[in-house]
């Protein structure tokens, strides 16, 4: 009987011990729940980082340059009115005869008209060449003279001279004349002119951009 009581007491003690262990395990699970791996405990740290970003900008500025500008023009000149001189180159036209065949009065049988004019270059800086012509008229007919070229320095003058020989009758008509410029003097004037133009170009520039980086 004594041994049975001892065994029974041991079994009861083991049961009580096992129950205590069970209670310990049970309360330990309630007080210490498992952590959810989908919800981390650590809060991520973030910081602001400044970077440079390229962009295009149109930059314009005034640019000066020298250009050569040329223009053709006629040189100014002056041509005086023609001065006319009448000469008799041969005086053997008899207009008054005596009965014995002697000539009492002789007229000019061959005359000459001389025509002159003064040509002046009025430009104080430029030389030039002019082509000058003349026309003679006699008894309704016109006789043209070949033009001559006259080159003048600045402000220089020169006399142009033309003449015409012709036969004369009893009417003693004299040739008239006129002098004219057939080709004016043309030169090219060139000068440098400063012009200003707006020059625009696309330029790459950089600006600061702030970004938040978390890690």
The answer to whether 122 touches 78, Cβ cutoff 8 Å, is yes
Task: Provide the token pair at 150.
Answer: 């006259």
CA distance 85 to 192: 50
Task: Provide the token pair at 157.
Answer: 């003058």
Q: What is the pLDDT of residue 144?
A: 94
Higher pLDDT, 139 or 132: 132
CA distance 68 to 194: 9
pLDDT band at 29 (very low <50, low <70, confident <90, very high): very low
Q: What is the pLDDT of residue 119?
A: 98
Q: What is the pLDDT of residue 158?
A: 97
pLDDT(124) > 90 = yes
Per-residue pLDDT averaged across 168-179, rounded? Answer: 90
Q: What is the pLDDT of residue 30?
A: 45
Using alpha carbons, select from 111, 120, 118 the residue that is nearest to residue 163: 111
pLDDT(28) > 60 = no
pLDDT(23) > 70 = no
User: Please, which residues bridge with residue 120 across strands?
Assistant: 78, 157
Mean pLDDT of the chain: 83
Contacting residues for 97 by C-beta, under 8 A, at least 6 apart: 103, 104
pLDDT band at 9 (very low <50, low <70, confident <90, very high): low
pLDDT tens track for 181-195 = 999 999 988 888 888
Q: Which of 36-40, 44-48, 65-69, 126-130 has the lowest mean pLDDT?
A: 36-40
The answer to whether 145 touches 160, Cβ cutoff 8 Å, is no
pLDDT tens track for 63-91 = 888 888 899 999 999 999 999 999 988 88
* Domain boundaries of the chain, sorted by first residue: 1-34, 46-67+193-214, 76-184
Fold of the domain built from segment(s) 76-184: Immunoglobulin-like (2.60.40)
Per-residue pLDDT averaged across 140-169, rounded? Answer: 94
């Amino acid at each position: 009987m004594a041994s049975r009581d001892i065994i029974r007491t041991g079994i009861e003690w083991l049961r009580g011990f096992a129950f205590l262990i069970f209670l310990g395990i049970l309360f330990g699970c309630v007080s210490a729940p498992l952590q959810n791996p989908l919800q981390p405990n650590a809060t991520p740290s973030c910081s602001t980082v400044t970077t440079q970003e390229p962009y295009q900008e149109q930059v314009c500025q005034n640019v000066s340059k020298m250009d050569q500008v040329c223009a053709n023009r006629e040189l100014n000149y002056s041509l005086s009115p023609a001065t006319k001189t009448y000469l008799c180159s041969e005086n053997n036209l008899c207009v008054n005869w005596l009965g014995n065949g002697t000539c009492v009065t002789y007229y000019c049988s061959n005359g000459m008209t001389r025509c002159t004019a003064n040509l002046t270059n009025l430009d104080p800086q430029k030389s030039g060449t002019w082509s000058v012509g003349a026309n003679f008229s006699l008894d309704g007919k016109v006789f043209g003279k070949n033009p001559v070229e006259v080159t003048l320095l600045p402000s220089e003058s020169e006399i142009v001279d033309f003449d015409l020989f012709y036969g004369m009758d009893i009417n003693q008509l004299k040739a008239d004349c006129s002098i004219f410029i057939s080709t004016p003097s043309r030169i090219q004037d060139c000068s440098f002119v400063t012009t200003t133009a707006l020059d625009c170009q696309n330029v790459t520039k950089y600006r600061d951009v702030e970004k938040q980086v978390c890690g």
